[in-house]
Each structure stands twice: as structure tokens, then as C-alpha cells.
Amino acid sequence: MKKEILKELNEHIIPFWLDLKDEEHGGYYGYKDSSLVLNKKGEKGCIHESRILWFFSEAYRLLGDEEYLAAADHAYDFMKKNLFDPENGGVFWSVTYDGKVLDDTKHVYSHSFAIYGLSAYSRASGKPEPLDEALQLFALIEGKMRDPEGYGEAFGPDFGLRSNEKLSENGVEASRTMNTLLHVIEAYTLLYAVSNEPKVKEALLGAVNILIDKVYRPEKKRLGVFFDKDYNDLIDLYSYGHDIEAAWLTDRAAETLGICPQDPAIVKRGTTEGADKETGTEEKNGGSLAELSFKIRSMTDTLEDAVLHEAFRNDSLPLECENGVVAEQRVWWVQAEAVNGFLNAWQKHPEREDYLKAAERIWGFIRDYVVDSREGGEWYSEVGPDGKPDMSLPEVEPWKCPYHNGRMCFEVMERNVL
């Protein structure tokens, strides 16, 4: 499995995205259809460019090829020149292929990915400026996009609230979403790992506690998805991919914070022995570290086990279940995050070979059906439970990039469990 995944990374995913470098206008091309026809005038979104910046930064850090650092430089230069708002601060949602502002929305989600990409780039390159910029975006989120109960979502260029269609689906418009909060946690985890800033640690603790106390539905063994401003559910929706992704990302946040919920002894004895105690017994945003450790471990273990038993079938995961009806399409990112999540679960519970077998079987499904072996192809966006690809969907668009599948490869490398 590991050998096959590393081959996929080195011989397929990385070359595909290197070929999408826009040498004329900067950044990376933003659209390639299912027939593998490249549209050089497709929009370039902040999420897309930030995730590519993260991807090549991590590729360089882990593999050491100077070409990958140059690819990250290329993404960074385009972001800095075109996606940063020099007047009001923050980053725009998207620009045209040649760098003109297309959508001036300031969204917590896109700001989180800008932080994620800039933090990885600073770590890989050794440059301090990208980290300073990531910390400035962090300050904007905490200062202008957060309220006493959590994070807003969409804002105008001057940070006035806007409607949130961009992160709302399934016929609802949400004031708050699990998805945005999850990627705040992800971004702050990496930012804290790189910066070691106490203010980032405090905000990360706060975001994790919001996830546990306001988004997690323990009676349903899942996370809520779309909410009003008071975290009331707007829809009965079970997002399998987000739940398995949230489990391992929250565990990663805990590791970075020094809470270490993967140590089963912590849960049994209810102490913080071996954990980071530098902030004292009581944390401002979560009570004792032992209490928070127990909450995190209980939630992530429950999410992983529930997804395995509720969703894993046909060697893959369906997209979601709305009002008891399962959407059977197999989406590329859901499969990649399931590999990450089940490997994470197996590391915590090595006696649970069903987690390892699930990861192996999902990788086999990806290899046989999701990977597009055509010349010029990468991964299909969606396939059916029978593996037939949906050819109405593009292979590159503002949300489709090497973030999920590239990260799956990096996680297999860094976890060193196979």
C-alpha cells in the first residue's frame, strides 16, 4: 500500500500539478474538464492557490526536490501579488486568470487556507515573511471575523457580514458551518506548530472546544453540518467524509497542543502526565487539559468507529446521508480522507485491524477506480459505487486540487506505520 501510494504521488499527482503552472500570468491554471481540456482562462481562487502552495511546500519539505520549492515560490508570488487586499487586509475569494479581482468576498474558510499554505511555505522555505503574513491573517480572523460564540463565515471587503452561499449546500443557507470551523482548527494547528505563538494556542483551544461543545452531536455519534448563529441544526445531514477527516485533524490539533489524546493511559487515569503543562492546570478555553484530552479522545474515537460501521461499504465511503437517504456517489476527497482517518484510528487502536483493512481496501478502490490513468489525467471528481466515473465533472476547478489526495500521500509517508 505504501509503495503504491508513494508511486502515485511521485509519478502521477506531482507531475500533473507541475504541468498546470501558468508561466504567463502566474499561479496555477484553475480549470480542466473531464475530457482533459485545459481552460487557461479559468478563475483562480484563493482556496485553490493556497492549497497548491501548501502542497508544493510539503512536497519540498518531505522530498527535498528544489523543483517543488520553485513551484511553491510560484504559487506564493501569485497570491501575494493578486489575492491579498492591500487596502483592507485579508485575501479575496477569487481573481481572474490574469489576476484581476473577481469575487471580493472575505471568507473565514479561504483565510484559513491562506494561513495553512503560508505556514507550510514558511516552514519549508525558511522565509519569515510568509509566517508574518499568516499571523496577520490570523489576527484579522480573530479580530474581525469572530464573535463571542464562534466564527462568522462570509464578509465583504471591509469585513461587513455577507450571506454565506459559498459554504452552504443542500438547500440551506447557514450562518455557521462545521466545515469552516474544521479548517480553522486545521490552519491554526499548523500555524501554532510553526510559530509557537501563545495567542494562536489559545485560539486553537477555543476552536476545538467549539467543535466539541457546539458542533459534535454525541447522541448521534456524528458532527452537525449546517447551523444558525446559535448552532441549531438546519438539516439532518451526516457527512461521512467530514467526520472521518475531523477525527484525525482534531487528534492532530491535540498532538500539537501537547494534549496527546492518542495515549490511552491519559483517558484511563484522567491526568495530564506527559502532556504539555506550560499553561498551567486550567486552560482559559477548556478547563483542565485532562478534561479536554478525554473529550477529544472520546469524540474522535466515536466518529471513527461510527463512520466505519455506518458508511464503509463496497470498499469505499458514500458522500453523505440526508434525512436517512444516502448519496451513493464516491467523491475523490472523501476516499482520501478516509484513508487518513482509518490509519489514524488504527494507530490509536492497533488491536483494531478492521481500521487498517478499511484503509487498505479504500486505497485499492482509489487505485482501481478513482485514479484517472488517461494521459493528462489525475483523479476523477466522483465515481459511482461501481467505480464508473461521472464525466460531467471537471478534474480541476476551484475546489479540486492536490490538497486531499496529496495529503493522503504525505500522511502515509510521515506516519511511518506501514
Residues 257-285: pLDDT tens digits?
Answer: 998 755 554 344 333 333 344 444 344 55
Domains in the chain: ranges and CATH:
2-272+300-412 (1.50.10.10)
Q: How far apart are CA 91 and CA 111, in angstroms?
A: 6
- In this predicted structure, what is the pLDDT of residue 346? 96
Core vs surface per residue 291-312: b (16+ CB within 10 A) or e = ebbbbbbebbbbbbbbbbebbb
- 129 close to 143: Cβ distance less than 8 angstroms: no
- In this predicted structure, what is the pLDDT of residue 287? 59
Mean pLDDT over residues 87-107, rounded?
Answer: 98
Q: How far apart are CA 5 and CA 227, in angstroms?
A: 37
Mean pLDDT over residues 78-93, rounded?
Answer: 98
Q: How far apart are CA 371 and CA 379, in angstroms?
A: 4
Angle (CA) 151-340-19 rounded to 5° is: 90
- 201 close to 279: Cβ distance less than 8 angstroms: yes
Mean pLDDT over residues 240-263, rounded?
Answer: 90
C-alpha cell of residue 395: 478534474
| Helices (H) then strands (E): counts for the chain | 14, 18
- The beta strand positions in 289-408, using DSSP E, are 320-322, 325-327, 330-331, 382-383
Closest CA to 13 of 373, 414, 383, 393: 373
Q: Is the pLDDT of residue 255 over 70?
A: yes
pLDDT digits (tens, 9 = 90+) for 45-60: 999 999 999 999 999 9
Handedness of CA 326, 329, 334, 336 (dihedral sign): positive
Q: How far apart are CA 320 and CA 170, in angstroms?
A: 11
Closest CA to 232 of 179, 273, 189, 174: 174
Greatest Cα pair distance in the chain: 60
pLDDT digits (tens, 9 = 90+) for 360-402: 999 999 999 999 999 999 999 999 999 999 999 999 999 999 9
pLDDT digits (tens, 9 = 90+) for 113-147: 999 999 999 999 999 999 999 999 999 999 999 99
At residue 66 the predicted structure's pLDDT band, cuts being 50, 70 and 90, is very high
Q: How far apart are CA 361 and CA 398, in angstroms?
A: 29
Beta bridge partners of 383: 330, 389
Whole-prediction pTM: 0.94
- 307 close to 341: Cβ distance less than 8 angstroms: yes
326 Cβ contact list (under 8 Å, min separation 6): 318, 320
